[in-house]
Structure 1
């Protein structure tokens, strides 16, 4: 390959044939622009590089598990069972930028039509064997062939993988316009080919997997707990991407059937950390002695990460929801303001974008490059895409929806529905409007039942069906539902995954997340334009265009999002004073022996903790600006 500086700051190759002249070798790769951290960086800004190792972190998971194999559609894999590493690791304080993990360096041409990774010579599996190029190539092959269908979809543009050196593997891409592909293949989990040679990759297993990461399974009891131990001689512990992380000697996860029991276990001291997702519980259930005495810290951590979309989702594969006007009308029956005030203690913000809480969210009317993109499809889009900003229906919070329901009736009448004998029926067929709302979480019933009451005022006959996790997953994969609560998380640099969310090809794929069954050529083209964005500015504009078209398709009834993390933890841990823009993670925390001793003394004496951590510690982001709200 000629002479090159392997760890140079995106160093240009010198003295190489012309075909290689435009390629660059680096320790990192950004989706757009330059990586924040140079080749000599020691650690990420949001970690404590001097964090001590030791102690135990006890976590809780709701549900059960029957497998340690997370890469196939069968079974229910254990929480945290995927400790396989990837070629690159992502930073948490910049948009989609990745740094070397299993790969010591990477090389890409200017057009990103291929990427070559050079593996770390020290990279080892836990059995001592080296991570090889053959492992990397085999991982791609087996995931696409036998893994979850998502992998075939996600790595569909990877046309080839070949060994080009003792520790070098080159991937080529069929899609020459997708700048994200080198990063996507860098995220691929690398699996040990020699380990799976004597095992059936397509079957679930409770044999702890062979991995290369910082933790491995120490012991477990099916459906009850998994205990991970830190690997003392972990090959990558001193890599810049790992410094200050993976600090606990033991991470134990206990499984509970009910979230209420998890909260009880937290208060009793059987669980160390809990991320609370129920607003009412956060507001009312933690006024207990351990919190008042400072034994348990209750903290809100602001974040700036995209919150995506959580919503009621229409299955447009069902005839009743194929008319856009019907979908738009039913949104007027959901009273978010009353729900937020009465059930959530006004903690949430209304979601009005599929890319909420980020610069990617559309707003106002389209202009600039976003307008230029949408103009191509003007004759195939609703006129209001260009003239009317999307706004979710609003109320005064009193629970009285007379004006909203009048608007809904007008839309339904326009779509060919009318009320007969107190039932909403299709004028042409006489069939009443009725559908099932599928739920998997009992906590959502209190949200859905008032919505159902409002739907009945329109003459609709909705039914609520609560099922267990296994039945829910099976029905989701078979598209056997009318209406459900779903969600799509989003990253700061959206790309390939949007095909799985909204494309026509994904509409009939059981492994994809196109729950709504969207099949729209305009959306397909907008996804491809987004993926092909040549700059950050174009990516933002094209994402906003996609967002606007999705919103005006009324495929969902948006719900809400939270702009901070609600966490509780026993006051024997410490965390960095700075946190990333994505909030905090226990990956960066450490066991604090001094705090633990004070906590034990306070509990033994049944007294408040002395010199205890404030309930809501002052925090600042790595950019250095105050984020307290």
Structure 2
């Protein structure tokens, strides 16, 4: 009875709330592209369709279902599925030249009151799955509930609290209700990006979302699976009957007939295969290779293009992550001491050819990056949160990475500082040079490393561990294969791991999944297990921002607080993409800020490709 009364009150409130109806959504109501936009500004609307782009990845896979904790999903295995609001191929932003603006794909319009208490998606009646079945509101309802019942626990728990009811109004209209009293931030895009799965297929097949399997449900997207050769390759082909080809959202996009993914056991074999033409596009992440290995004849002859393309997104907050669930890592002094074993300057000069910059912030090189002591709107925001804020945060300068000498791996000044911290933390060094606590237990830390990763990262970690050993710490490097690495990372079976968090330019409920206490014990997006009441309070307050200026102040404060909590040793970043590709592809001259788009809005040049084959540069 109470529930019915609650919905009745909501419905009465709706009668007086102005309704917004639009071709897209942004929280503040600003949309760069008008309802009659012909295409996104950065695409080539005349880009030809055809050809193949082939890429590589490392390791193995045994599943084409990436939504399960079981098994290792194949690369790009979400590519077949669309959502009500559209995104780029491979999950990149679309449009890629604006931030926090979302445009209809499976829907043709969005309706919501100014209070954002609910949202209705009016779907396109012509949307179809690859098997010809229509995509209906019942499929969206089914997909939403499937994620709640069989999806990741951190996602399901967060969404259930925020979205208590979904209602199918007719075959092509669906309504989501949002919990009273909670911020409306991220609510509409949350439901707008649920993948559309076929209810009919799941019910007829009996498949589950939480199982590892190679069989896949039909998707409505521009690509579908052509072949799967486990642990060797996956080929996706463009659906010739794709329902959405002519939508303005898709003009100049989805240009390749095929996307082929080749699997390799290690970085060296992958690079040699690129040189031989076994695959044709490569994002380089190894600084040594970028600096020294692209001198092979095909580059000199112009058959392979080596290009640096600006990256306008904040870099991923990657680095050496502490598992805060381990008792030894809960003492910040121990974490501080361990961090001093990382010598960025020596690493960059000796192993990475001076090509990187040292990352400090979770919003690096953006206006949201905290600097100095808090002041102005940021300081006022922090002060309003009261005692939950560490007093140090209000007066101290934003945390910056330590500096080291580049001349030698072991910086003696940092070694002395680390020794002092470990002594204070109750880990003095004994006559044998080993650190032990009062019970005589050695200070032992394990570093989990994927053996299929790059040789450069392996060298970086080895030298870091060498410095830990010099500090008197029993440092154990555990190299495991890709499948073991995935399983152990999911179970947080490590003290240290090289991983990354998500950067941010706007607030949203996803911040709580990545950085909040709510799912800290199990979230795959929070590898440190960070659970900070201060961070929680800042995230929650950011969701209540009424203006962009208030939101920016809150996010600057969040960056400051995350750096203060110190759960990751920041390593390095690059503000350009390192790309290499056989000269049969073209891309827009004006690169959008938020996506590289090589699978999304690049295209194949058949004439160039023929020249490569005639010259023997490609098979």
Indicate which of 58, 63, 85 corresponds to 2:59: 63
Structure 1 residue 24, shift from structure 2 partner:
0.1
- Counterpart Cα distance in 1 of 2:13 and 2:337: 63
CA contact (8 A) 2:185 2:507 kept: no
Structure 2 partner of 1:223: 231
Q: Decide whether aligned partners of structure 1 residues 595 and 518 sit closer, same or farther in structure 2, where only a CA change above 3 A counts.
A: same
CA distance in 2, matches of 1:121, 1:388: 55
Q: Are 2:319 and 2:498, in contact at CA under 8 Å, matched by a contact in 1?
A: yes
Match of 1:435 among 445, 451, 459: 445
Aligned partner of 1:411 in structure 2 is 421
- Among 269, 276, 281, the alignment partner of 2:277 is 269
Aligned equivalent of 2:401, options 383, 392, 407: 392
The corresponding residue for 1:84 is 81
Q: Residue 623 of structure 1 aligns with which residue?
A: none
1:522 aligns with 534
Q: Using a 3 Å threshold, how does the CA distance of structure 1 residues 124 and 405 change in structure 2: closer, same or farther?
A: same
Residue range with higher mean Cα deviation, 224-233 or 50-59? 224-233
Alignment of 1:204-243 (within 5 A): 204-243=212-251
Equivalence for 1:555: 567
How far apart are the structure 1 equivalents of 2:443 and 2:618? Answer: 63
Contact 2:321 2:567 in 1 (8 A): yes
Q: CA deviation at 1:378?
A: 5.2
Whole-angstrom distance in 1 between the partners of 2:618 and 2:188: 57
Asked if the contact 2:58/2:264 (under 8 Å) is kept, the reply is yes
Show the 5 A alignment for 1:97-246. Answer: 97-156=101-160, 157-174=162-179, 176-199=182-205, 200-201=207-208, 202-246=210-254
Q: Secondary structure at the match of 1:210?
A: coil
Structure 2 distance, partners of 1:32, 1:561, is 31
Deviates more, 1:170-179 or 1:120-129: 170-179
Q: Relative to 1, partners in 2 of residues 1:409 and 1:359: Cα closer, same or farther, differing over 3 Å?
A: same
SS at match of 2:554: helix
Superposition deviation, residue 424 in structure 1: 4.8
Count of residue pairs the alignment pairs up: 590
Q: TM-score, normalised by structure 2?
A: 0.91
Q: How does 1:486-497 map to 2 (within 5 A)?
A: 486-497=499-510
In 2, are the aligned partners of 1:377 and 1:522 still within 8 Å (CA)? Answer: no
* 1:470 correspondence with 2:483: yes
- CA–CA separation in structure 2 for the residues paired with 1:71 and 1:20: 40
Distance 1:80 1:209 in 2: 15
Partner of residue 10, structure 1: none
- The yes-or-no answer on 1:500 pairing with 2:505 is no
Q: CA deviation at 1:414?
A: 2.7
- Give the corresponding residue for 1:598: 611
SS at the partner of 1:603? Answer: coil
Q: For residues 189-588 of structure 1, what are the structure 2 equivalents within 5 Å?
A: 189-199=195-205, 200-201=207-208, 202-375=210-383, 376-377=385-386, 380-381=389-390, 383=392, 386-399=395-408, 400-426=410-436, 428-440=438-450, 441=453, 443=455, 444-509=457-522, 511-586=523-598, 587-588=600-601
Structure 1 CA distance for aligned equivalents of residues 454 and 574 of structure 2 = 20
Displacement of 1:295 in angstroms is: 0.2
- SS state of the match for residue 204, structure 1? coil
Q: Which consecutive residues of structure 1, in runs of 5 or more, have no partner in the other structure? A: 1-15, 607-629
Q: Residue in 1 aligned with 2:70?
A: 74
Task: Confirm or deny: 8 A CA contact 2:98 2:594 kept in the other structure.
Answer: no
CA distance in structure 2 between the aligned counterparts of 1:128 and 1:358, rounded to whole angstroms: 45
> Residue deviations 1:352-401, cap 9 Å, x none?
11222322221111112221232234575152552223110002311251
CA displacement, residues 571-592 of structure 1 (integer Å, 9 cap, x when unaligned): 0111111111024212111111
Query: Corresponding residue for 2:36?
Result: 40
CA 1:319–1:18 in 2, change beyond 3 Å: closer, same or farther?
A: closer
- Partner of 1:627 in structure 2? none
Relative to 1, partners in 2 of residues 1:258 and 1:154: Cα closer, same or farther, differing over 3 Å?
A: farther
Q: CA deviation at 1:523?
A: 1.6
Distance 1:197 1:36 in 2: 40
- The answer to whether the 8 Å contact 1:385/1:549 transfers is no
Q: After alignment, is 215-224 or 342-351 more displaced?
A: 215-224
Cα pair 2:60 2:482 within 8 Å, conserved: no
1:415 positional shift: 2.4
154 and 234 in structure 1: CA distance in 2 versus 1, 3 angstrom threshold: farther
List per-residue Cα deviations over 1:121-165 (Å, max 9, x = no partner): 111111212111110101010111012324314523111110124
Find the aligned partners of 1:373 and 1:147 in 2 and give their Cα distance. Answer: 36
Provide the C-alpha distance between the structure 1 equivalents of 2:110 and 2:58, rounded to a whole number of angstroms: 39
Give deviations 1:417-466, integer Å, cap 9, x for gaps: 32221435355333321111111135322001211222222211111111
- Comparing 67-76 with 266-275, greater Cα deviation is found at 67-76
Question: Unaligned regions of 5+ residues in structure 2, if any?
Answer: 1-11, 87-93
Query: Structure 2: how far apart are the matches of 1:288 and 1:306?
Result: 32
Question: Equivalents in 2 of 1:285, 1:41: separation in Å?
Answer: 44
Report Cα offsets for 1:319-378 as digits up to 9, x if no partner: 211111221222222100110111111111111112223222211111122212322345
